[in-house]
A and B are shown apart, each in its own frame.
Chain A
Amino acid sequence: MNKKIQRSLAVVSAATLLFGVSAVSSAGAAQKTVYLAFQAPLTGANALTGQDELTAAKFALSEYNATNPSVKVELVIADDQGLAEVAAVVAPGIAANKKVIGLIGPAFSGATQASLPAYKATGLPMISMSATRVSLTDKKAPVNGFPIFKRVVANDKFQGPALARYAIKGVSSPSVYLVDDKTAYGKGLADYTKPSIVRDAKIAGSDSVPENTSDYTSVVAKVKASGANVVIYCGYAPDAAKFVKALRDGGYTGIFAAGDGVLKATFPNNAGNTAAEGARLTAADVPFEDVATAAQMVAYTKLTGIKVPGSYVTSTYNATNIFLTCIKQGVTTRPGMQNCITAGSFKGIAGDTIKFDRYGDIIGGAAVGAFTIKAGKIVYLGVA
């Protein structure tokens, strides 16, 4: 009911963004301050994803600023609500401010695509932590992000087949029911998962259940009627938790598998440990608490108030650190940043090497990891 109003408010805030940022920038210019922008959904239905990611950007920045660097970095935060139409209005405000030399984000693929024209026109380098739509880095796509767009997350072309492979692993006569959440992410992942299922297993049925659905009983009825022994869900954790719970309560005993949108410490908590137990999850995103040091986790919790980091925290931390590494090397302009990111080689928090190909994906593809839930905890098993 209030979505339209929220969008209108976003338009108003976007209009003020440019002026607000400019004012802050000129005040801080004497102190050698540069700005990184952060764009993700911070309000609205998808706020959770953006809020989680924001904690990582803030944390990386706090670590950097704590070292008393010669160039101070501040964050300009923009809320695109994960919606293309809002992003199209927000992006020009950021793009027009020359003090902003890099963009962490956008978080969502649709919002990224809508933001590209503004950023391309002003040459603002961007690194997305969670936009996985294949076309963004596809040289044949009519609208791709070349040359400014990079991402530190595996695209769905890699994740889809890995998810299918992992979901049916060790299952005799696998019969798969494929469910997506109708979002650009969920539908896209399902589309790249389906060919592998058709090749290696049987499709028992499929359904597209809108995001934020509360009642999954009709889908459970269909899964049961189809006789499927594997259910693959392409969507996000809050809905996956409701779905898997409904499946288990409805008497379904087969495999439940899902992609990176579900790989979140909150998933087993929200689903109840019994329902989520044994779920098979894939992701290019490693849980932050698995790769951060104990001291970093203490500092992260102190800064954000969050004990269990959400999804894409690791990738956002990596994306922010790539910019910060370049700034440490003396980069303070957009062209300098573009050269640094394009030519440089960076270290991820897990010790991995990050180097981008011409169209913005990590060379060799970001690895897709296989995870499961054991005793209510996410356990990393290896490469899917």
Chain B
Amino acid sequence: MNLQVLESQFWSLCLQGVALGFIYVLISLGYTMVYGVLRLINFANSEVFMVGTFATVVAQVGILQNETNSQSLHGFRLIYTLTFALIFSMLVCGFLGVLVELVAYRRLRSLGAKPLGFLISAIAVSIVLLETIRIVTYSRPQTSPRLLDKWSFGEFAGANFRIDTVMVIISGIVIFFTLDRFVTKTRLGKAIRAVSMSEEISKLMGINLNRVVSLTFFIGGLTTGAAAFFYTTVYETTQFNVGFNLGLAAFTTAVLGGIGNLRGAFYGGMFLGVLEQFASAILGSQWKSVTVFTVLVLVLLLKPNGIFGEAVQQTRT
């Protein structure tokens, strides 16, 4: 056990944990939105994320013609490039989410298939996406160019406020609260919540169920695409199997916070991000998963609906 690391790195670990947590939150929204509406765990979401990371690289390198080893960009060009890559990744993941729903779930839904059918269908789509990208990329990691020079706002109490860390946190907050307001305040958001409460009654109220389900997959894809963009911008690399660990962490995030519940995903992500950092630093990285999943089991033992499962039940999507 290494407690000495906390003397100089406590706030650094907190900051990095929060930044990582926001990436988890954004991916977990893809799981939680879909679960909220369909009571279905969309396992393919981890591969939608993976495709998003490649979409980011394609936007930066293929479409905007930046070399892999190009110099960092500045000013308008930088903002334009990052915004374009973010929107591109979000749209690719959004439409991929809709496509996954159409191909893998819609027919099963209309036939009233059992949950196991959905699960296998989700895993099948997941493998198809994973292996397709693996073949196309020759299993090789793809590098994203360092377009954003990683300058720092300064170091406070040992925590380095680097531009990419700050960008992830601020953007994560903006995206999360925009989505939260969309779901709670807008007509479409209310339709999503209505379907999540009762499919049958929503239909009687004139809500187009298929449209709401597609919209939910689209929104889940958008946030997952945003996470993919931030992941690629911070870590500057991706690989065909990147979705596995990140997807598992995001799924854990959703369950910790109370799956199907937006604000729960937010708290779950923050909790998991910070917990992972401290477990790795104090106990050693080899104990990270043991710690995280022990905590998950304990939480579920005490609160089967997740930490915030009941307290914020009203915000269920």
Contacts and interface: CB of A to CB of B under 8 A. Distances in A.
A85 to B, nearest CB: 18
Interface in A247-298: 249-251, 266, 269-270, 272-273
Interface string B257-292: 000000000000000000011101100111011000
A270 B245 contact: no
Contact of B244 (A207, A212, A224): A212
A306 B138 contact: yes
Nearest to B142: A270
Contacts of B16: 215, 217-218, 221
Contacts of B140: 48, 266, 310
B13 interface: yes
Interface stretch (A1-9, A70-78, A164-172, A317-325): A1-9
DSSP majority for the B interface?
A: helix
A155 to B, nearest CB: 24
Contact of B146 (A48, A208, A222, A272): A272
Given A43-B134, A214-B245, A218-B13, A207 B284 contact: yes
Interface in B33-49: 43, 46
Given A1-B251, A5-B123, A208-B286, 19 more contacts: A1-B43, A1-B244, A44-B241, A45-B241, A48-B141, A182-B286, A214-B235, A215-B235, A217-B13, A217-B16, A218-B276, A221-B16, A222-B281, A225-B9, A250-B160, A266-B140, A269-B68, A269-B69, A376-B69
A207 B20 contact: no
Q: Interface extent on A, as a size class?
A: 35 or more
B190 interface: no
13 contacts: A1-B244, A2-B43, A47-B134, A207-B285, A207-B286, A208-B286, A214-B242, A214-B245, A221-B9, A238-B141, A269-B69, A305-B138, A376-B69
Interface stretch (B104-112, B125-133, B171-179): B125-133
B289 A210 contact: yes
A238 B280 CA distance: 20
A277 to B, nearest CB: 12
Contacts of A310: 140
A51 interface: yes
B285 A218 contact: yes
B69 A221 contact: no
Contacts of A345: none
Contacts of B12: 217, 221
Interface string B48-76: 00000000000000000000110000000
A219 B280 contact: yes
A5 B141 contact: no
Which of A1, A210, A242 has the most chain B CB within a 10 Å cutoff? A1
A214 B5 contact: no
A210 B285 contact: yes
B143 A222 contact: no
B123 A221 contact: no
Contacts of B5: 221-222, 225
Nearest to A241: B237
A273 B69 CA distance: 8
A213 B285 contact: yes
Contact of A270 (B8, B150, B237, B251): B237
B300 to A, nearest CB: 18
B87 to A, nearest CB: 23
B258 to A, nearest CB: 20
A194 interface: no
Nearest to A273: B69
A212 B141 contact: no
A221 B284 CA distance: 12
A383 B130 CA distance: 40
B141 A266 contact: yes
B229 interface: no
Contacts of B7: 225
Contact of B286 (A1, A44, A210, A250): A210
A218 B288 CA distance: 11
A205 interface: yes
B188 interface: no
Given A214-B246, A272-B236, A219 B277 contact: no
B285 A209 contact: yes
B150 A1 contact: no
B248 interface: yes
A306 B140 CA distance: 11
A270 B284 contact: no
Contacts of A58: none
A126 to B, nearest CB: 23
Contacts of A215: 16, 20, 235, 276
A303 to B, nearest CB: 13
Contacts of B123: 1-2, 5
A238 B46 CA distance: 19
B4 interface: yes
A45 B104 CA distance: 24
Contacts of A376: 69
B83 interface: no
B288 A210 contact: yes
A307 to B, nearest CB: 11
Interface in A175-216: 182, 205, 207-210, 212-215
B315 to A, nearest CB: 27
